[in-house]
């Protein structure tokens, strides 16, 4: 039974690894574990990393009802509140030193979004109203400083003055706006609305859904464009398979929480198309999912988070359209691939970060780091347990 198997993997493999990174001396969690399982306890500590860990342990408690996981969420929250939140100018630093001093004090919209996401789930788990207040403080900063007449901008200095967006740009270009930031801001606001029911959040959600439908989604190619200039002109021919399959279920979740029939009808055709296109264009023969396709050239390496999100995207696609039993079969084969290749069998480890096309790990990729955390694979476990779908 897949749910039993996933739950056992979560409890016996994923959770213990991240619990073992708790830093009792300096606060927060160790943010640097190399492929050879060496821990650097004096590496910088990231805002995104800690917000995702806060979200992870909060949802571990909400899903498994074991209070020991809430204690780890408390620990993550204390570090965010005491060390990552800028007490003078508001918002959250990009990174701090191992002992909690500002290291990179940029204020990126993506980072602020994940802090809201983590705080909202933590409020749900703990009932700590201070966390919800802090989430809305950051929400107000985003709405006041990170937005123009066309949507959300991304990169800012400590005082929320616009800067260049290197942190969320890749593939040789510097983007003013990105699909990635918009998607996860939508995700954060959805979680904030779910736990608070504050109506001021809903207008922002509707605006983002309109932008996704009207400016980000490419109906001809059935994909989300990735990098944009200020006028929402796509800057590169890039299909991010992982983001598209992730978006297919995250946006459906937004519509479910928003409970607006108009938007559900408007958006559902897009999310169905995203899942269908990834299923037809991005599967290897073993049903694992390729990383991306740039200028018609497929990047065939396998990335841990893409596989986790693909399972959720295809399970969600099946639940919304049960005639697509092929989605469910594909999700099952991806889980088989994960077990065979991505889950690290070594004692005290977790999931490999990236694999070569032949399934061997890329050894210069970390096991834990600023962008490698339990958000994607943990969420896959929580969602499968809570959705009660057998693969």
The 10s digit of each residue's pLDDT in 343-355 is 999 999 999 999 9
Q: What integer is the mean pLDDT of 189-195?
A: 98
- Tens digit of each residue's pLDDT (9 = 90 or more) over 120-135: 999 999 999 999 999 9
Q: Is the dihedral of CA 257, 260, 265, 267 positive or negative?
A: negative
Looking at CATH, the fold of the domain delimited by 2-387 is given as Glycosyltransferase (1.50.10)
DSSP of 4-69: HHHHHHIIIIIHHHHHTTB-TTTSSB---B-TT--B-TTS-EEHHHHHHHHHHHHHHHHHH--HHH
The pLDDT value recorded for residue 217 is 98
The pLDDT value recorded for residue 245 is 98
Q: What integer is the mean pLDDT of 167-183?
A: 96
The pLDDT value recorded for residue 24 is 97
- Tens digit of each residue's pLDDT (9 = 90 or more) over 230-284: 999 999 999 999 999 999 999 999 999 999 999 999 999 999 999 999 999 999 9
Q: What integer is the mean pLDDT of 87-97?
A: 98
Q: What integer is the mean pLDDT of 171-192?
A: 97
pLDDT bin (cut points 50, 70, 90) of residue 103 is very high
- Tens digit of each residue's pLDDT (9 = 90 or more) over 41-89: 999 999 999 999 999 999 999 999 999 999 999 999 999 999 999 999 9
Q: Is the dihedral of CA 173, 371, 94, 45 positive or negative?
A: negative
- Tens digit of each residue's pLDDT (9 = 90 or more) over 3-50: 899 999 999 999 999 999 999 999 999 999 999 999 999 999 999 999
DSSP of 176-202: SEEHHHHHHHHHHHHHHHHHH--HHHH
pLDDT bin (cut points 50, 70, 90) of residue 379 is very high
- Tens digit of each residue's pLDDT (9 = 90 or more) over 140-150: 999 999 999 99
Q: What integer is the mean pLDDT of 157-165?
A: 98
Q: What percent of the chain is modeled with pLDDT above 90?
A: 97
pLDDT bin (cut points 50, 70, 90) of residue 390 is confident
Does pLDDT of 1 surpass 70?
Answer: no
DSSP of 52-119: HHHHHHHHHHHHH--HHHHHHHHHHHHHIIIIIB-TTT-SB-SEE-TTS-EEE--EEHHHHHHHHHHH
If residue 148 lies in a helix (H) or strand (E), which one and from where to where? strand 147-148
Q: Where are the domains of the chain?
A: 2-387
Q: How many whole angstroms separate alpha carbon 91 and alpha carbon 313?
A: 31
């Amino acid at each position: 039974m897949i749910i039993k198997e996933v739950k056992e993997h979560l409890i016996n493999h994923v959770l213990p690894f991240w619990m073992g990174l708790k830093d009792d001396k300096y606060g927060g969690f160790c943010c640097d574990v190399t492929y050879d399982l060496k821990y650097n306890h004096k590496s910088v500590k990231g805002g995104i990393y800690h917000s995702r860990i806060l979200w992870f342990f909060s949802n571990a408690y909400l899903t498994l009802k074991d209070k020991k996981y809430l204690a780890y969420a408390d620990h993550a929250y204390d570090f965010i509140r005491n060390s990552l939140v800028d007490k003078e100018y508001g918002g959250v630093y990009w990174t701090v030193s191992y002992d909690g001093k500002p290291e990179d004090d940029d204020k990126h919209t993506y980072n602020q979004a994940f802090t809201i996401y983590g705080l909202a789930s933590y409020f749900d788990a703990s009932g700590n109203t201070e966390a919800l207040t802090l989430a809305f403080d950051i929400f107000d900063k985003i709405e006041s400083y990170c937005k123009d007449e066309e949507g959300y901008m991304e990169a800012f200095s400590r005082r929320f003055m616009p800067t260049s967006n290197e942190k969320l740009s890749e593939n040789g270009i510097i983007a003013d706006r990105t699909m990635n930031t918009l998607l996860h801001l939508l995700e954060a606001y959805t979680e904030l609305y779910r736990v608070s029911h504050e109506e001021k959040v809903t207008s922002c959600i509707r605006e983002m859904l309109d932008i996704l439908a009207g400016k980000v989604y490419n109906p001809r190619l059935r994909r989300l464009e990735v990098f944009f200039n200020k006028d929402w002109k796509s800057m590169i021919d890039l299909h991010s398979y992982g983001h598209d399959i992730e978006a297919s279920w995250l946006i459906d979740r937004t519509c479910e929480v928003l409970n607006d029939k108009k938007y559900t009808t408007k958006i559902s055709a897009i999310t169905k198309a995203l899942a269908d296109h990834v299923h037809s264009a991005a599967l290897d023969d073993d049903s694992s999912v390729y990383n991306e396709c740039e200028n018609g050239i497929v990047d065939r390496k396998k990335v841990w988070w893409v596989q986790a999100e693909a399972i959720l995207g295809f399970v969600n696609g099946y639940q919304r359209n049960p005639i697509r039993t092929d989605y469910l079969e594909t999700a099952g084969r991806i889980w088989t691939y994960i077990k065979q290749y991505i889950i690290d069998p070594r004692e005290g480890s977790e999931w490999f970060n990236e694999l070569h096309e032949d399934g061997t790990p890329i050894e210069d990729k970390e096991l834990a780091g600023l962008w490698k955390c339990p958000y994607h694979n943990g969420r896959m476990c929580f969602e499968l347990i809570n959705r009660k779908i057998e693969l």
